[in-house]
Structure 1
Amino acid sequence: MQITTQKIINLKKPKLKADIINVLINRFSPRVYSEKEVASKDLDSMIEAVRWSPSAMNNQPWFFYTAKKGSTGFKILANSLGNRNYWAKKAPVLILACYIKEDKFGKYGQYDLGQAVFSLVIQAKSLGYYSRQMADFNKEQVKKDLKIQNSFFPWVIIAIGKIGNYTKADNISIERDNIERKRKETISQEI
């Protein structure tokens, strides 16, 4: 049976225990992306969502580098990725998210960066884009090649784009994505 993009989308629909907003229902992290460009206004909208993310004491300890396919920045980010993330080179946009650790609130930088990345991911999905976050990359090489200042810590690279055509995808990406999404049954307790 041939795997199609729609079959992957249907497979990724979560089995909910309670109602949640549609953007969360429809969000998942594919490995197959269309080469269709991300509109500049949409990328600006995603970064604006980051700008308005919550942070401890409104410190906003993050900095994002955006790179469109074909740019020098894109090549640097793509070449830094671990072997399992080969598929990301086909995405039209790669974004490097860094946390800043330079003041008394810096101990919350990673947590706050996570909220900022989530804001970007949800804004992207609300605009019809998919995203996948990757921590497996050469952080020191990226820092050197992009001349990133010492207080900025590269933390994650995010691929952004429209979902691609699974009938033309490589077998490894299909195999990895052709899996139902599962979550732990118990993640909270009333006290």
Structure 2
Amino acid sequence: MDVIKAIRERRSIRKYKSKEVSEESLSIILQAGRWAPSSANKQPWHFIVVRDPNLRGRLADAHAHGRFMKESPAVIVVLGDPQKDPRYCLADPHNAVQNMLLAAYNLGISTCWMGVRDTAIEPAFRKILKIPDELRVICSVAVGYGDEERTSSRYPLDEIVSWETFGNKSK
């Protein structure tokens, strides 16, 4: 896989075909998450794979911007574990998510990342999936075969990069 090409071309997809994602493909995606970098290699994450249509529907109903989770064949809910790393348990799981998004893209599988942490959605996800209080619900990732094409744009580098000190545009 050309990683730079994958980073540029991968898009968040919100319409999915009914085709199931194989356990083998899900395993590859989860393995990619498992191999993500983390502070001091503490790996403060846990993943819940939700394939049950009833559970996916309940998650979708709880997430105002995630109604499409009802249609995606799988949802991966990403948790942070403060017992493994209280300082970076909210940040490091995002490294795992990015790896999973790129691995899925490489397999021809579409995804859509959705924030959950520190929103009214978190308690609902916690209740639906029986998540222990000591874990943090970070985000969810819809996984499936896309049924739409999407494009995206990005700010030019000169608008988002400073050199040496904030606001300095001179290299």
What TM-score, normalized by structure 2, do the two folds share? 0.82
Equivalences for residues 82-161 of structure 1 within 5 A: 82=64, 84-102=65-83, 105-135=85-115, 138-161=121-144
Q: 2:61 aligns with which of 79, 98, 102?
A: 79
User: CA 1:126–1:20 in 2, change beyond 3 Å: closer, same or farther?
Assistant: closer
Deviations 1:23-61 (A, max 9, x none): 222200121111110011000111111111100000101
Q: What amino acid maps onto 2:139 in structure 1?
A: V
Q: Secondary structure at the match of 2:79?
A: strand
Alpha-carbon offset, residue 62 of structure 1 = 0.7
Q: Which runs of 5+ in 1 are unaligned?
A: 1-18, 167-176
Alpha-carbon offset, residue 79 of structure 1 = 3.1
Alpha-carbon offset, residue 87 of structure 1 = 2.2
Equivalences for residues 160-171 of structure 1 within 5 A: 160-164=143-147
Task: Supply the distance in 2 between the matched residues of 1:45 and 1:85 (Cα, whole angstroms).
Answer: 24
Compare the two structures and name the one with the higher helix fraction. 1
Task: Supply the distance in 1 between the matched residues of 2:13 and 2:26 (Cα, whole angstroms).
Answer: 19
Task: Supply the distance in 1 between the matched residues of 2:32 and 2:152 (Cα, whole angstroms).
Answer: 26
Moved segments of 4+, more than 6 Å: none
Q: Secondary structure at the match of 1:54?
A: coil
Query: Aligned-pair RMSD on alpha carbons?
Result: 2.1
Q: Which runs of 5+ in 2 are unaligned?
A: 165-171
Over the matched positions of the two proteins, sequence identity in percent amounts to 26
Deviations 1:3-39 (A, max 9, x none): xxxxxxxxxxxxxxxx962222220012111111001
Q: 1:184 aligns with which of 138, 152, 155?
A: 155
Q: Secondary structure at the match of 1:149?
A: coil
State the number of aligned residues.
Answer: 158
What TM-score, normalized by structure 1, do the two folds share? 0.74
- Match of residue 167 from structure 2: none
Task: Supply the distance in 2 between the matched residues of 1:39 and 1:25 (Cα, whole angstroms).
Answer: 25
